[in-house]
Amino acid sequence: MDTTALYREYKPLLSSIAYRMLGSLTDAEDMVQDVFAELEKKRVGQILHVRAYLLKMVTNRCINGLKSARRTREVYIGPWLPEPEVHSAVEIPEEMAVRTESISYALLVLLEQLSPLERAVFILRETLDYDYRDIAELLGKSNESCRKLHSRAKQKINHGMIRKQEGEAPIVLPIEDVQAGSSHAKQAEVLARSFMNAALTGNFEPFVGMLANEARLYMDGGGKVRAAVFPIIGSGRILAFLQGIAPKSLGSNNQLLVDVNGQPGLLLKRDGELFGVLSFQFDSDSRPVRLLIVTNPDKLKHVSLE
């Protein structure tokens, strides 16, 4: 089999792993292209297990890529959020099979607290159902080491927290359902529709009233567009912020219900142009505690207005 045929067969799998590892569709595409460019220099016929070989190449490249990305994100302007994967909210049967492979955007955010190796083991184990022996082979680690990495990753995510004010208990953010259609999907759609109505009427109080009092809004503009550099903490401040930007950026009929990494979210437009993508995150009591808005134009290149 030549590299062109291998590319067609394995690109979807490799791209999905690279995206989950890197949190960037653009970087994932570049990573997969580099892997196949390197593959062309090798004698493919002498590779016994091509799928495993390609998985190993992509996973290890992503681990190295994450190590360098951490240094870059330390000087990033404002909160760093993953690049959202956006699709039409219309249920098209042939697309649904692909969407159910998605991991939620909220989980993608939580994965940022893992080390590159922990992230690799978690993704291979939780989203692809690989056994520890295969993961160990891919990463060049022992079975026991991979078990420990997976356990540590789950513990970090299960204990992912939003720190509250001094003396208050932290908000626990559990592992989201790794596939589309989790228990929070209906809640996310209700929130999205409430936000759309708020933008239409100019009254954001009903929408903000659905949030936890200690909810936070994170906005990733990356220094490319005007955005909140620090998290906006508390429903009262979120209300003031939304009311402040609504006249300029959230006019009527400028929102579109979309699928963001397998969960309902909103595509925000301004003067007919793409402005941002909004999604939600819930705590262990299913309360909406985070609004996640990506406005960095570099992270919206894959989003279509159609």
Kindly report the pTM of this predicted structure. 0.88
How many Cα atoms sit within 13 Å of 171 on the Cβ side? 21
Contacts 24+ apart (CB under 8 A), 139-147: 139/59, 139/60, 139/63, 141/117, 146/121
Options 2.60.120, 1.10.10, 2.60.40, 1.10.1740; CATH of 1-75: 1.10.1740
Domain limits of the chain?
A: 1-75, 106-175, 185-299
pLDDT along the chain (306 residues), means of 10: 84 94 94 90 77 92 90 86 88 47 84 94 91 94 96 85 57 60 82 92 93 94 91 95 81 81 90 90 89 96 83
106-175 folds as: Arc Repressor Mutant, subunit A (1.10.10)
Do 185-299 and 106-175 fall under one CATH topology? no
pLDDT at 54: 92
C-alpha 271/C-alpha 93 separation (Å) is 32
Side chain identity, residue 76: Y
Find the length of the chain: 306
Strands (DSSP E) contained in the chain are: 86-88, 160-162, 171-173, 216-220, 232-233, 255-260, 263-270, 273-282, 288-294
62 token code pair:
């992503």
CATH class (in words) of the domain with range 185-299 = alpha beta
